[in-house]
Structure 1
Amino acid sequence: MHRVSASDADAGRVLDSLMLPFDRGMLDWPASGVLCLRARPGVAMTGRRGLVCSQGFKPDADALEAAGFELDADPARRYEVVLVLPPRQRDEARALFAEAIARCAPGGRVVASVANNAGAKTAEGDLAAVAGGVSVESKYKCRVFWTAPLQGPADPALAAQWTAADTPRPIAGGRFLSRPGLFAWDRIDPASALLAQHLPADLAGDAADLGAGFGFLSAELLERCPAIRTLDVIEAEARALELARTNLERYQDRAELHFHWLDATRGLPGRYDVIVTNPPFHAGDRLDRPGLGRRFIDVAAAALRPRGRLWLVANRHLPYEDTFAAAFAQVRTVAFGGGFKVIEGVRA
C-alpha cells in the first residue's frame, strides 16, 4: 500500500520550476551545498554542485542513488538553501516546510515547487504563513516560491503545531499508529478490511505482505492464521515501514518478523508459501496504473513456492484476471464488496 510517484512528465515540470530561480539568477546556488527534501531524479537536477537528496520512498531513493546523487545521511547538517517538493497531503507538506526551515543555516532560504493542479497556491500560502512571506514565479504549469533569508520560522508556534500534526497517532480504536501522508492513514482501508475478512485460517509457513503500509494486513494475517512461521513486511515508504515495526511488536512471539524497505516491483527477498497484498494502482496524476498491480502479481508468483498462495484485493474494475491466469495454476475470485474484489491464486 505504498504511494506511487507522479508521472515522469509532471515530475519533470515541477523540477524545472524548482530550479527556475537559480537558472534565471534570482537566487544564487551556494557552494556549501543544497538539501532537497522529498527529492526526485530528473534532468533539471543533473550537474547541480553539492546537491544532497532526502527521500523516503524507495523507488525514488534508488533512482537518485543510481544517478549519482548524494543521499542525506546527517540530520544535524544545516544548509544555505533547502529545496522542497511537497507531497499532496497537507499535514505532511506543512510538517515538511517546518523541517525545511529547521534544516536551514542562519540566513538560509527555503525554495519549493508544486504543480498548479496539485495545490500550488495552498502550499505557497502555507510556506508564507510559517516563514513570513515568499517570492513567487509561475512557469511550466507550476509555481515556485521561496523565502527571504531566515533566522528560524517567522511563527515558531505554527511550525511546532505543524510538526506535532505529523506525529504518529492512534487509529482504529488505538490498535495501530499512523500518520498523515500514508495510504488510508487515518482509517482501515475498506479494501484491506475485505481481504482480511476472507483470509483463511489454514494459511501457513513463510509469508510476505507486499506494500504493507502501517501493518494492518500483516497484523490480520498473524491474528487469523496461527501457522504462519515467518513474515516479511515489505514496504517502499520508510515512514510507513517505521510504523509497521511499532504496530507489529506485539506479534514478535507469534512469528519471526522481518522488515524490508524495498521496491517490491524489483523482486522479493525470499521464497514464500503465502503472500498477501493490496497493491498500489494510482500515480500522482490520480490515473489508474493497473501495470503496477500486474507487476505485483508477477513478482509474487515468482517468489511463491509450489502450491504457494497469493491473496490480493483490488478495485473491482481493474483487469488483473488475465495476469493471474498466466501466472497461477488455480485462480478464483473469493469475494466482492464495496467496489472491491478478493482474488486467490495458487501456484502449480
Structure 2
Amino acid sequence: MLPIVDGPLDWPADGALFLRARDGWPLHQRAFPGLLCEQTFRPEADRLARSGLALADADGDLSLQSLVLVLPPRQRDEARALFARAVDRARPGGRVLACVANDEGAKSAQADLARLAGPLGQLSKHKCRAFWTAPLAQEGVDAELLAQWRQADAPRPIADGRFHSRPGLFAWDRIDPASALLAQHLPTTLRGEAADLGAGFGFLSAELLARCAGITSLDLYEAERRALDLARQNLAALSSKPMGFHWHDVTVGLGRAFDVIVSNPPFHAQGRADRPDIGRRFIAVAAQALRPGGELWIVANRHLPYETALQEHFPQVRTVVQQGGFKVVHARRP
C-alpha cells in the first residue's frame, strides 16, 4: 500500500478490486472507500470478513475497476493467469498494482507483468517489491500473451485422465506420493460415515470410495475453493453415495461426527515456512469429530512432529508404515 499512502499513486474515487487479498494493518491505516476483496483460501477469506472488509461473491460478475491490486501466488502459471485477470478487470485508463516478497520471486513477477502490460513503476521496501502499470490502454497490452495467460491455470486432466487439476494446487500435476501411500494402506473394512480433511482435488476421497464398500457417505473439507470445485467435478461420477463438499477451514472444527477420517494435512499455509501446527490442529479436530470406535488414517512427512499430538488425543496409535520419507499412522478412539 506504500505507493498509495506515500505516493505516487492515488486511491481512486470508485474504489479498487484486491485479488488474492490478505488482511493486515496496512488495509486499516486509513480509509480505502470502495475496496472489494477476493480470496479463494478460506482462512484468509475469514480473516478479511472478521475485519469488516467487503468480499466479492464467488459467482458474482465484477465490474471494471480503476485500480486492481494483486498479491500473486508463488506458482508461476497461476500468477500469470492472475495478472491476466487483473488486466481484464481494469477499466481503460486503470492500473494494476502488485507486490511480491523479494525471496518469493519479486523480480520474475515484475518481469511477467511488464511483458504483459508494458513499462512499470516500482517501489522496494520491507524486503518486498511493489510494481504497477501505467494507465492501461488496449494498444499497450500484449493481446496474444493476454489470451495465453488467461488459460495458464485452466483445469486439465492428470493421472492418465483420471482426475482434473490445475496449477497452484498442492501436487497439482501428479498424484502426491504421500497420499498414494496412505491410499495403498487403507483397509477395505472401513465403514460408516467418512470425512477427508484437506481433500485437495479429491484423490484420497476417490480411493476411499473405491476401496471401502462399507463407507456410507463422504464429506470433503478443503480450504482452497479452486481445489474443492475440482474435487466436486472429479467425484461426480464415482459413487451414488451421499457426498458433501465444504469450503472450510478445518482448524476451526467440523461441527459433526464421523466414523472414519482420512487426511494428508497441509504443512504450509500461503508462505514457505513449515507449519506443523496446522497438522497438529487437524489431529485434534479429528479426535473431537470421531465417534467412539472411530478411526483416523493420516499420512505426513516423516520429520513432522505429530506423535505427541496423536498420543495426547488418541490412546491407541500405531505407525503403519514408513516409506519414501513419509509415515502412515492409524489412530482409534476407544
| TM-score between both structures, scaled by the size of structure 2 | 0.96
Residues 18-57 of structure 1 mapped to structure 2, 5 A cutoff: 19-46=1-28, 47-57=31-41
Which whole-Å CA distance do the structure 1 matches of 2:268 and 2:227 have between them? 17
Q: Equivalent residue for 1:277?
A: 263
Displacement of 1:282: 2.3
1:77-98 alpha-carbon deviations (Å, 9 max, x no partner) = 1110000000000000000000
SS at match of 1:334: strand
* Letter of the structure 1 residue corresponding to residue 318 of structure 2: R
Structure 1 residue 305 corresponds to structure 2 residue 291: yes
Determine the structure 2 residue equivalent to 1:188: 175
Q: Deviations over 1:7-57 (max 9, x none)?
A: xxxxxxxxxxxx111112201101111110000000001132211100000
Specify the alignment match of 2:75 in structure 1.
89
SS at match of 1:326: helix
Partner of 1:314: 300
| 1:317-348 CA-partner distances (Å, limit 9, x unpaired) | 11111211111121110111110000000001
Q: Deviations over 1:81-131 (max 9, x none)?
A: 000000000000000000001111111100000000000000000000011
Name the counterpart of 2:116: 130
Match of 1:165 in 2: 152
Query: Could you say which residue in structure 1 is the equivalent of 2:45?
Result: 61
Match of 1:145 in 2: 131
CA distance in 1, matches of 2:88, 2:79: 14
1:291 aligns with 2:277: yes
Write the letter of the residue equivalent to 1:222. Answer: L
Q: Distance in 1 between matches of 2:39 and 2:137?
A: 25
What SS does the corresponding residue of 2:151 show, helix, strand or coil?
Answer: helix
Give, in whole Å, the separation in 2 of the partners of 1:101 and 1:179: 21
- 2:27 maps to amino acid: M
**Contact 2:191 2:214 (C-alpha < 8 Å) held by counterparts:** yes
Partner of 2:237: 250
Worse-matched range after superposition: 93-102 or 68-77: 68-77
Residue among 52, 69, 78 paired with 2:64: 78
Higher relative contact order (CA closer than 8 Å, sequence separation 6+): 1
Partners of 1:294 and 1:274 in 2: CA distance: 18
TM-score by length of 1: 0.93
Q: Which moved more, 1:244-253 or 1:150-159?
A: 150-159
Contact 2:15 / 2:32 at 8 angstroms: preserved in 1?
Answer: no
Structure 1: distance between partners of 2:303 and 2:3: 44
Asked if structure 1 preserves the Cα contact closer than 8 Å seen for 2:261 and 2:297, the reply is yes
* Change beyond 3 A, Cα 1:261–1:297: same
- Please report the RMSD computed on the Cα atoms of aligned residues, expressed in angstroms: 1.1
In structure 2, give the amino acid aligned to 1:54.
E
* Uncovered stretches (5+) of structure 2, i.e. residues with no partner: none
- Residue 110 (structure 1) aligned to one of 57, 79, 96: 96
Work out whether residues 87 and 96 of structure 2, in 8 Å CA contact, stay in contact via their aligned partners in 1: yes
Distance 1:284 1:62, change over 3 A: closer
- Structure 2 CA distance for partners of 1:285 and 1:241, relative to 1, 3 Å: closer
Task: Tell which deviates more after alignment, 220-229 or 66-75.
Answer: 66-75
| 2:198 matched residue in structure 1 | 211
Corresponding residue for 2:318?
A: 332
**Letter in structure 1 aligned against 2:278:** L
Q: Once the 2 structures are TM-superposed, how far is the Cα of residue 283 of structure 1 from its aligned partner?
A: 4.1
Does the 8 Å CA contact 2:209/2:239 hold for their aligned counterparts?
no
Report the count of equivalent residues: 329
Aligned to 1:197: 184
Per the alignment, residue 212 of structure 2 pairs with: 225
Distance in 1 separating the partners of 2:7 and 2:275: 39
8 Å contact 2:18–2:68 — kept in the other structure? yes
Letter in 2 for 1:279: P
Rounded to whole Å, the distance in 1 between the matches of 2:48 and 2:285 is 23
Deviations 1:154-200 (A, max 9, x none): 11111111121211000000000000000000000000000000000
Structure 1: how far apart are the matches of 2:11 and 2:124? 20
Counterpart for residue 11 of structure 1: none
Query: For residues 171 and 267 of structure 2, what CA distance do their matches in structure 1 show?
Result: 14
Taking only the aligned residue pairs, the percentage that are identical comes to: 62
